[in-house]
Amino acid sequence: MRVLVLGSCLLLQAPGGKKLADNVKVIVRCRPLNKKEVAVSAAEVVTVEERRGTISVRDPEAPKVFTFDQVYDQKSLQTTVYKESAENIIDAVLEGFNGTIFAYGQTGTGKTFTMTGASCDASLPGIVPQSFEQIFNTITNSQGKQYLVRASYLEIYNEDVRDLLSRDHTRKLAVRENPDTGVYVEDLTSIVVKGTKEITKVMNVGLKNRVVGATNANDQSSRSHSIFMIDIECSEIDEAGEAHLRSGRLNLVDLAGSERQSKTGAAGERLKEGAKINLSLTALGQVIKALVESKSGAHIPYRNSSLTPGLFEFCACPWCTWFVQDSLGGNSKTMMVATIGPADSNFSETMSTLGYAHRAKSIKNRPKINEDPKDALLREYQEEILRLKEQLGKGGKKRSGKRRKPRTIKFDANGQEIPPEEGEDQEESDDDEGKDGVTDEAELARIREEELRKLEEEKAAMMADNTMLEETKTQLLAQMSARQGEIQQEQRQAAQLASKIKALESKLLVGGKSIEEHTAEQERQLRARQRQLQEQAAQAAQLQAELEARRERREAVEESYTSLEKEVEHKTKKLEKVFHKLKEIEQRINVMHERFAHQREEVQIQTEEAQKRLRLKQLIIEHFIPPTEADKLRRRAFFDEAAGTWALRPITETDDLESTVTRDRPKSAFASRNRAITVFAQMQAAVDTNPRYKADNIMAVELDMPERTTMDYSGPSVSARAQEALDAALRDEGDVVIGQSTDDFIDEIIRKKRREEKMASKRQRPGTAKGPKRTGTGRSNGPAEEFPSRRGLVKERA
């Protein structure tokens, strides 16, 4: 299998040059809800997923999902639809294929909008006007090719074929069949167009003549099928100098909308039209069905076929049959644009359209380049131009044989013509003629002018010559005038031929233009581009994410290397870059580390300072503010985020109650008064208004004694003996006797005590009283001093 790339069109070619089948391309476009649907708040049942190419229709019973070559949602742009779907077909037509783009769908779903554009908005051109731009841009930019472009526009209304470009566009045209060239519409106007402006004019003339009418479903409903045909013939000289001719025909079809009569509210003429339209569309549907169901490669008998009953109703003419035959299952690159509405009220029509469209996907066409067609007008033109030029080169007359060079006639003194010198009156050699045996027409014109001028001069000279015989003179003058007339006749004929050639040549388009034309063309293209860009800008936001993803993918692809060496080189460079970056980052990190360390130190110092101040405050609070007050303050304190400081809430009643001990009214106060008041003050108040003695200024506060909160100590009970010993011990420390047991020590003390008592009683008896006797301790503190000291006791014991 070979793959041929022609322009942007990809063709699969089987071995042996046989073209492979090319499926009919099917795209679906959903229009937005229209005003009426919005007014009744119609629900949308159609979901379009452009990326997946699917259309889902919400059906309560079983939701349906259809897949197509391309789908477009309510927001799709005219330019997007064209660029993505139609452009390839136009390119193919310019290469010599036949192409058909037809819109099919319920009435009011946007067939005309998609094909022709919005009637009220020229900035929304449909497929037809956009194809004009593409065709003429391609021709302008081509090199070494000659084109002939013709446009025709016809409509099929109630089975009649009508010429939309004719003066009498209601005239029914006859359809004939030519055994060589096939079926054709007799007298169909075909206008040679040389640019976008001209072909747009042609389209507008046809649109004005088209039958449209208002129905419930559409104010501007197309009541006929319309076909805008563009024939493009291209001739190219190959390297061997041989001319090749190709011809492609583009059919741009806007079918009338299928409709339910009950819905459209049609009556009378409209009802009849509707019935015909439906019939023809049903027939078209049947053709599609038959094509899909037939075995691959089998012959489809388009006429009188049991497979396609009712096909004639599409239009009862062979032309339509031929048209359908070529576009569906024949020699054509075909695209079907199915248009649908999103509203639930159109559910059944939408399902039906999608069903047809889905079936049409399986139709296989066999497009081929139309080479050297017999009926090519371009060839006729080229041949005619050549013939005329030849004629022009031969002096404006069809002359055979050699041509005489113009000669100046000379006379002798007697007025006799001097015969030409040798070689002077020679016939022109073939070498003197142009390449194709034709002398350059400008040169020929110059020679004629020269001859005329000389004849005039000779005539004047002869008139002035008195030596000549009158008779001879008259004869020669007559000859000269005849020759003059001959030359003038040749001049007229040449001018006629030249204008004919010019007219024919002007119909042919060649690539490559003058700088001025080219600049003007570029400016026009630029304006068109700007318009497109504006439209696309609206979509830009949506596409942003997609572009990002694509960019990433592209970068990934760029990184796929052609060789190992390149990969190493690239990666080394990358590594160096990364290393350099790493160094920079390390340096920055070091600087940051130093800065952070410095800051940390500062923060530490500040924290320590703050802690010191805090401890000082705690010290002051703990030692100088009663804990209850501090508690109260803590409860009232809050941090004011806005001011960044601590603040105190104002004292509320609750705080007040908590902080104040409820005090009883002083006992001295009278029942009716707030405070205690003296009798004097009462009396005084009655007579004296001086506020100084007012009762409220006197405060008699009874001292409220605090309650005792401690108790007297009552120690543990001790035996009388122990108590006595303790008392004695407490009375005087005495010396500690080491090694003595407690009982011995107590006995010792008791003994001492008794001794002391005996001595005291002796002293109290008369005659025995002799002043106190000093002990070794030197102390003289009463009777206690009589006791031996502890040290003494220890000594004693030792």
Distance (Å, rounded) from C-alpha 236 to C-alpha 144? 7
Burial group, residue 203, by CB count within 10 angstroms (0-12, 13-18, 19+): buried
Which residue stretch of 213-221, 278-286, 324-332, 661-669 sits at the interface with ligand ATP (rule: CB under 6 A)? 213-221
- Minimum distance, C-beta of residue 109 to ligand ATP, in the bound complex (Å): 5
Q: Which amino acid is at 516?
A: E
- Minimum distance, C-beta of residue 531 to ligand ATP, in the bound complex (Å): 17
Nearer to ligand ATP, 542 or 563 (CB): 542
Nearer to ligand ATP, 131 or 222 (CB): 222
3 state DSSP class of 757: helix
Give the residue numbers of the binding site.
Answer: 105-112
Q: Does 110 bind ligand ATP (CB under 6 A)?
A: yes
**How many other C-beta atoms are found inside a 10 Å radius of the C-beta of residue 214?**
12
**Which residue, 230, 227, 88, 123, is CA-closest to 528?**
123
Give the residue numbers of the binding site for ATP.
Answer: 105-112
Q: Does 123 bind ligand ATP (CB under 6 A)?
A: no
Question: Of all helices (H) and strands (E), which one includes residue 227?
Answer: strand 225-237
Distance (Å, rounded) from C-alpha 219 to C-alpha 216? 7
Distance (Å, rounded) from C-alpha 148 to C-alpha 704? 129
Q: Does 257 bind ligand ATP (CB under 6 A)?
A: yes
Contact string (CB under 6 A) for ligand ATP, positions 3-22, x = contact: --------------------
Q: Does 264 bind ligand ATP (CB under 6 A)?
A: no
Nearer to ligand ATP, 74 or 740 (CB): 74
Cα 707 versus chain centre, distance: 90
Q: Does 145 bind ligand ATP (CB under 6 A)?
A: no
Burial group, residue 208, by CB count within 10 angstroms (0-12, 13-18, 19+): exposed
- Minimum distance, C-beta of residue 223 to ligand ATP, in the bound complex (Å): 8
Nearer to ligand ATP, 55 or 149 (CB): 55
**How many other C-beta atoms are found inside a 10 Å radius of the C-beta of residue 775?**
14
Which residue stretch of 31-39, 326-334, 470-478, 667-675 sits at the interface with ligand ATP (rule: CB under 6 A)? 31-39
Distance (Å, rounded) from C-alpha 688 to C-alpha 585? 94
Nearer to ligand ATP, 31 or 358 (CB): 31
**Which residue, 349, 166, 355, 337, is CA-closest to 255?**
337
Which residue stretch of 160-168, 173-181, 218-226, 788-796 sits at the interface with ligand ATP (rule: CB under 6 A)? 218-226
- Minimum distance, C-beta of residue 295 to ligand ATP, in the bound complex (Å): 34
- 323-342 residues near ligand ATP, rule: CB under 6 A: 339
Listing DSSP states for 556-602 in one string gives HHHTS-SSHHHHHHHHHHHHHHHHHHHHHHHHHHHHHHHHHHHHHHH
Contact string (CB under 6 A) for ligand ATP, positions 281-320, x = contact: ----------------------------------------
Which residue stretch of 103-111, 408-416, 768-776, 789-797 sits at the interface with ligand ATP (rule: CB under 6 A)? 103-111
Nearer to ligand ATP, 130 or 140 (CB): 130
- Minimum distance, C-beta of residue 193 to ligand ATP, in the bound complex (Å): 25
Nearer to ligand ATP, 264 or 391 (CB): 264
Distance (Å, rounded) from C-alpha 77 to C-alpha 531? 12
- Minimum distance, C-beta of residue 78 to ligand ATP, in the bound complex (Å): 8
Please select the residue that binds ligand ATP; options are 85, 222, 224, 353, rule is CB under 6 A. Answer: 222
Nearer to ligand ATP, 109 or 247 (CB): 109
- 674-733 residues near ligand ATP, rule: CB under 6 A: none
Q: Does 32 bind ligand ATP (CB under 6 A)?
A: yes
Q: Does 112 bind ligand ATP (CB under 6 A)?
A: yes
Token couple for 441: 């027409």
3 state DSSP class of 430: helix
Contact string (CB under 6 A) for ligand ATP, positions 33-52, x = contact: -x------------------
Q: Does 218 bind ligand ATP (CB under 6 A)?
A: yes
Nearer to ligand ATP, 47 or 493 (CB): 47
Distance (Å, rounded) from C-alpha 612 to C-alpha 603? 14
Which residue stretch of 102-110, 389-397, 401-409, 501-509 sits at the interface with ligand ATP (rule: CB under 6 A)? 102-110
**Which residue, 396, 413, 491, is CA-closest to 451?**
491
**Which residue, 226, 136, 141, 152, is CA-closest to 188?**
152
Which residue stretch of 43-51, 106-114, 517-525, 532-540 sits at the interface with ligand ATP (rule: CB under 6 A)? 106-114
Which residue stretch of 215-223, 365-373, 675-683, 775-783 sits at the interface with ligand ATP (rule: CB under 6 A)? 215-223
Please select the residue that binds ligand ATP; options are 22, 82, 85, 108, rule is CB under 6 A. Answer: 108
Nearer to ligand ATP, 105 or 125 (CB): 105
Nearer to ligand ATP, 13 or 216 (CB): 216
Axis crossing angle, helix 515-558 with helix 127-141, rounded to the nearest 10: 100
Nearer to ligand ATP, 257 or 396 (CB): 257
Buried b (16+ CB within 10 A) or exposed e, 232-260: bbbbeeeeeeeeebbbbbbbbbbbbbbbe
Q: Which residues have a Cβ under 8 Å from the Cβ of 269 and sit 6 or more positions away?
A: none
Distance (Å, rounded) from C-alpha 214 to C-alpha 220? 5
Which residue stretch of 108-116, 145-153, 370-378, 557-565 sits at the interface with ligand ATP (rule: CB under 6 A)? 108-116
Q: Phi first, then psi: what are they for 153, rounded to 5°?
A: -140, 120
Question: Of all helices (H) and strands (E), which one includes residue 642?
Answer: none
CB 249 within 8 A of CB 281: no
Q: Does 118 bind ligand ATP (CB under 6 A)?
A: yes
Listing DSSP states for 662-701 in one string gives PPPPPTTB-TT-SSB--HHHHHHHHH---GGG-GGG----
Which residue stretch of 36-44, 217-225, 401-409, 786-794 sits at the interface with ligand ATP (rule: CB under 6 A)? 217-225
- How many residues would you count in the chain? 798
Nearer to ligand ATP, 27 or 677 (CB): 27
Q: Where do contacts with ligand ATP occur on this chain (CB under 6 A)?
A: 31-32, 34, 105, 107-113, 118, 218, 220-222, 256-257, 339
